[in-house]
A and B are shown apart, each in its own frame.
Chain A
Amino acid sequence: MSEQASSFPAVFNLTPILPFLPLAAFALIVLWANRSKKLSAALALGGIGLAWVIGWAITFTTFGMERLGEAPFRLFKDWFPAGGVWQAFGFQIDPLSAAMLFMVPFVCFLIFVYAVGYMGVGKPEHEHDVPGQPATSGYVDRLASRFFAYIALFAAGMLGFILADNWVLAFIFWEIMGLCSYLLIGFWFARKYANPTQITPKEAGLKAFLTTRVGDTIMLAGFLLLFAQTGQISFNALLSPATLEQLASATIRLPIVGPTPWATLIAILIFFGAIGKSAQFPLHVWLPDAMEGPTPVSALIHAATMVSAGVYLIIRLFPLMAAVEHGAALRFIAFIGAFTALFSATIAVAQTDIKKVLAYSTISQLGFMFAALGMGAYIAATFHLLIHSFFKALLFLGSGSVIHGMEHGHHAAEHLHSPAQAHAHEVSALARQTHTAETSPREEHGFDPQDMRNMGGLFSRMPRTAWTFIIGGLALSGFPFVTAGFWSKDEILADAWGHGHFFIFLVLAVAALLTAFYTGRQIMMTFFGRPRTEAAFHASEHDSVFAWMTVPLMVLAVFAIAGGWVGIPESFPGLGALSSNPFHHYIAGLAEALHIEVAAPAFSAIPLLTSLVVALGGLFLGWKVYGDYAARGRSDLADPLAGPLGRLYPILLNKYYFDELYHKVFIRGTQRLANWLFRVDDHWLIDPIVDGVGQFARRLAQLSHRFDFRIVDGVVNGIGAAADWFGGALRVIQTGKAQNYLLVGLVAVSVLLGAFLLLPK
């Protein structure tokens, strides 16, 4: 390994081993330790724990360094020759990656600790539990070792991604994360639901993987174009002013659009990867269904880390995005972000599943970050990214604790109603008799422990969960002055106002109002009033697993409050005098080195008042509308929103009818085409390729039922159809026969080579 500068403390030399610590845990669990669930959990915890300690050691060392932004620490080695130039691969520490290094291993560690409790490590195995289905309450999941292996691999991917100093390495780790997301969403692959239209974990995993793949493919095209234009892979070289200048001035003639700077084209293509990974419109549909995975996964991957990787990538490449002054790329990012922020906030308002509300809220908050980036609010976006990770992880873990408590309560309630077994065992032990292994709790007797309509009054029953959840909720809604969420969101709004993006400011303000409202609604429905079901009445957090689960909640709650204090603007009246806004100065060092304009806007009362009004007003509305509903304690009441919203309510409840619209407009067409192709094939041709296409189209039609994305309007449909066909070409002959697959490769190679010959140079 060669270094750029040797003036760094020795601890920096440990940077490259950070991703390999959890990777080693993964390898050890898979190859050796998987028989013992305790050992597997210990290995995963050890791997990430060590990464956390070293990561913080590095991060805290950077705090005193004035010039880290201009001269980041890089450790690299020649990797492969491209043409005559050796490309280096390596890792780098600059203020941005160090800030992420503060958050990622720490949050990962807390979530791993939580997962020990959540997976029931240390409990006995239930002999009727089927591998690949959630364990009976009070027992260990049969595949718990595999779970820890997967999340350790994921942590390796995320750490590698934030530290990578070039896009090839970053892309590799990016895809490792995608793979882990797929594996972990479908972790309960054997789970089936009584309702056939409800998406199963297996299908949700597939949906997530394929949807993000659309974005990733477009992103890879962007990176390859970038490489073709510059011949560089390292971020350092790509973001140098000379390279950016060259990319911004050279143009390519695109159909319809006309001459476009390369920088704009590449930036937009790369942004599509972020759209997929961070679940922005129109590729947002996978994230809500990803909640089928175990709750630690939702917290780790689908709230705190992986989905924010898309934002991180755009922050990392921000100079490229902004290479063209007032270019289309930034406007596009701002538009997508602001639209998604509002759009998914409206959906979250009407959801009843506790995790789905949080999922849409995550999409919405990521939209905030993209909107901020699109406006050039580089530091505000970074700040919100970090703060959001803490409080959203907290909220997800809290919801997992609530769900666990509800399941306990459900079993306790059943216990009371079966006198034959009454009072014979403890609540958790009782589950053994009353629970059949073939069904998982969620579909049994139609009881859904994730449905907020079944909750209520949990505050007195699960106080630790409730307090921490409420803190997280207040941070999410931006409760003034105290919570971290207020400072990070206020900074985005202040930037929007200060830099004259009034329209975006308005959209984000409305989205923030809705955020506070649905958070208030969620807290009211879950924790306050009277229990609406027996399960909620008997819910508790006294089982031993909650010891593992509630400690991370409390730690995260501290950060959900105190985390914001490092980013209080100096110009803020009163409090600003006490603050030196260390976060701003820390990141600004990097931003200045990259020639990004980051001057904080002058203080203005309007965005501050707006923040206050939307946060408090939203929470107040949530309390006002749902206070009465919660107090009545009946599960058969209609949602109080249904009346005033009228016809809008079912639209929101059904997520703007994505599924149905898609079914009518798109699937029918595909089916007709498929039938026609099938008949053509059946009657006229025996050619195996045509046979394959016919089969493919039929399968596609079946598959399409499950894919509710690319809806809304005809244009999106058209793009969606094209994308589907395009992606489908890879699945052309899904026969399971290797020779058919290889034929596709042969056809592709010979046709492409032929085209290479025939096309003009």
Chain B
Amino acid sequence: MVPLSWYLILAAALFCIGVFGALARRNAVGILMGIELMLNAVNINLVAFWRHIGPDQMTGQLFAIFVITVAAAEAAVGLALIIAIYRQRNTVNVEEIDMMKG
């Protein structure tokens, strides 16, 4: 059997790769992909905990499904935003998108 900590380390690595993608990519779509990786890392954690700590309760899997749902909603809205911004500014380079600047 694979120990729990292996899964957790895999998830941590995936999460950190996702963080890197979300924070270092210039392209908004690239950032979105990074975020998807982070969410998947979380799912691995949830399922691994379910399997190893409480397989009788389905909470872990349930939460993973909710995460997938939220991720789908997030991707749809995020990509819609990207397309809208692309139309308006003709770029999806986030360094040029600084409308939050006070």
A739, CB-defined interface residue at 8 Å: yes
Query: Nearest chain-A residue to B25 (Cβ)?
Result: A739
Q: How far is the CA of A738 from the CA of B35 in the complex (A)?
A: 13
Tell whether, in the assembled complex, residue A746 and residue B23 are in contact, meaning their CB atoms are under 8 Å apart: yes
How many contacting A-B pairs (Cβ < 8 A)?
27
| A688-737 interface with B by 8 A CB criterion | 734-737
Chain B residues whose C-beta falls within 8 Å of the C-beta of A743 in the assembled complex: 23
Tell whether, in the assembled complex, residue A734 and residue B23 are in contact, meaning their CB atoms are under 8 Å apart: no
A 659-678 to B, binary, CB cutoff 8 A, 1 in contact else 0: 00000000000000000000
Q: Distance (Å) between the CB of A750 and the closest chain B CB?
A: 9
Query: Nearest chain-A residue to B100 (Cβ)?
Result: A736
A742, CB-defined interface residue at 8 Å: yes
Chain A interface SS verdict (over half): helix
Q: How many residues of A contact B (CB 8 A)?
A: 9
B 1-40 to A, binary, CB cutoff 8 A, 1 in contact else 0: 0000000000000000001001110000001000000000
Q: How far is the CA of A738 from the CA of B22 in the complex (A)?
A: 10
Query: Nearest chain-B residue to A742 (Cβ)?
Result: B23
B56, CB-defined interface residue at 8 Å: no
User: Which of B44-52, B60-68, B71-79, B91-99 forms part of the interface with chain A?
Assistant: B91-99
Q: Distance (Å) between the CB of B79 and the closest chain A CB?
A: 16
Tell whether, in the assembled complex, residue A742 and residue B101 are in contact, meaning their CB atoms are under 8 Å apart: no
Tell whether, in the assembled complex, residue A739 and residue B102 are in contact, meaning their CB atoms are under 8 Å apart: no
Q: How far is the CA of A736 from the CA of B100 in the complex (A)?
A: 4
Chain A residues whose C-beta falls within 8 Å of the C-beta of B101 in the assembled complex: 734-737
Q: How far is the CA of A746 from the CA of B31 in the complex (A)?
A: 15
Q: How far is the CA of A738 from the CA of B95 in the complex (A)?
A: 9
Q: How many residues of B contact A (CB 8 A)?
A: 13
Chain B residues whose C-beta falls within 8 Å of the C-beta of A739 in the assembled complex: 22-24, 31, 94
Query: Nearest chain-A residue to B26 (Cβ)?
Result: A739
Q: Distance (Å) between the CB of A706 and the closest chain B CB?
A: 14
Q: How far is the CA of A738 from the CA of B96 in the complex (A)?
A: 11
Chain B residues whose C-beta falls within 8 Å of the C-beta of A738 in the assembled complex: 94, 100
Q: Distance (Å) between the CB of B32 and the closest chain A CB?
A: 12
Q: Distance (Å) between the CB of B28 and the closest chain A CB?
A: 10
Chain A residues whose C-beta falls within 8 Å of the C-beta of B23 in the assembled complex: 739, 742-743, 746
Chain B residues whose C-beta falls within 8 Å of the C-beta of A737 in the assembled complex: 94-95, 97-98, 100-101
Chain A residues whose C-beta falls within 8 Å of the C-beta of B24 in the assembled complex: 739
Chain A residues whose C-beta falls within 8 Å of the C-beta of B94 in the assembled complex: 737-739
Cross-chain pairs A/B with CB under 8 angstroms, 18 sampled: A734-B101, A734-B102, A736-B99, A736-B100, A736-B101, A736-B102, A737-B94, A737-B95, A737-B97, A737-B98, A737-B101, A738-B100, A739-B23, A739-B24, A739-B94, A742-B22, A743-B23, A746-B19
- Not counting A735-B98, A735-B101, A736-B100, a sample of 15 additional A-B residue pairs whose C-beta atoms are within 8 angstroms of each other reads A734-B101, A736-B101, A737-B95, A737-B97, A737-B100, A738-B94, A739-B22, A739-B23, A739-B31, A739-B94, A742-B22, A742-B23, A743-B23, A746-B19, A746-B23
5 tightest CB-CB pairs across the interface, nearest first? A736-B101, A736-B98, A736-B100, A737-B98, A739-B23
